[in-house]
Amino acid sequence: MIKKIILWIGLAVIISFIGYLYISFNGVPWKKVQVAEEIEKHVENKYGIEVDVVDKFYNFKFGSYGATFKAEVDNIEFTFETEKTNRGLYLDYFVEALWASQLKADSEPIIKQSFKSLAVESYDYHFTYGMADALNIKSDQIPNYKTVNSDLALVVRLKDYWSEETKNKGINETYTFIQELKKNGIDNIGLSIYYKEKEEEPQKWNYYGISFNPGDLKKVQTEKDVENYLIGL
């Protein structure tokens, strides 16, 4: 009888410990739902739009709950995250995600048009979380990304390996790309063009490309100017 009691106590302790570990890393399931509903109302009231919940999450590093939402602005669909801290503050990245989506819509056709002899493997868009708050962007007066000094950046990855030939092609086509961006009023973003890494030479620096910080595109007037931004040499 005593052995059974000890066994049941031990089993209860193990189950409790497993439950504790699960909640520590994944949060309380019902609270995920509750907080997601609260955040949804907050976001819709703040920006005057309708959003759909795509996912709910728990940030175990900070003990906060959040959700990923899908929204549509000016016929552009995008997703963004919002968290509610354990102090009750809302941290949302709606503006940053909107700007990245606008840049994507504007730049995609230009990427396909500009890179012809070099093959583009992928491209993506980066921003710093909290950038809109740092710029004091008001929820009812969100400017177009082209008019702000942000750290919004575009990264283009090529299928081509670095060589003297592909370097010259990259300089030429990057210059063409930048000029087309400027024609569309885009000169305030960061831009990086990366060549494919050479895995057979892991001991060597093999990350070659062309990289511009936000604001640098304004300085590019000729193909020669592009050479100043080569990296990995």
Tens digits of residue pLDDT in 42-97 = 999 999 999 999 999 988 777 788 999 999 998 999 999 999 888 888 988 999 99
Tens digits of residue pLDDT in 25-50 = 455 677 888 889 999 999 999 999 99
Task: Give mean pLDDT, residues 112-130.
Answer: 91
* DSSP H/E element including 163: none
Pairing of strands 190-196, 153-161: parallel
| Among 7-16, 146-155, 158-167, 207-216, the least confident range | 7-16
Cross-strand partners of 193 = 156, 210
Cross-strand partners of 157 = 122, 194
Task: Give the pTM.
Answer: 0.82
- DSSP-based helix, strand, coil % in the chain, nearest 5: 45, 25, 30
Domain boundaries of the chain, sorted by first residue: 2-92, 95-231
Residue 22 has pLDDT above 50, yes or no: no
- Round to whole Å and give the CA distance between 182 and 164: 27
**pLDDT at residue 197, rounded to an integer:** 79
What is the Cβ-side half-sphere exposure of residue 217, based on CA atoms within 13 angstroms? Answer: 26
Structure tokens at 154: 């575009």
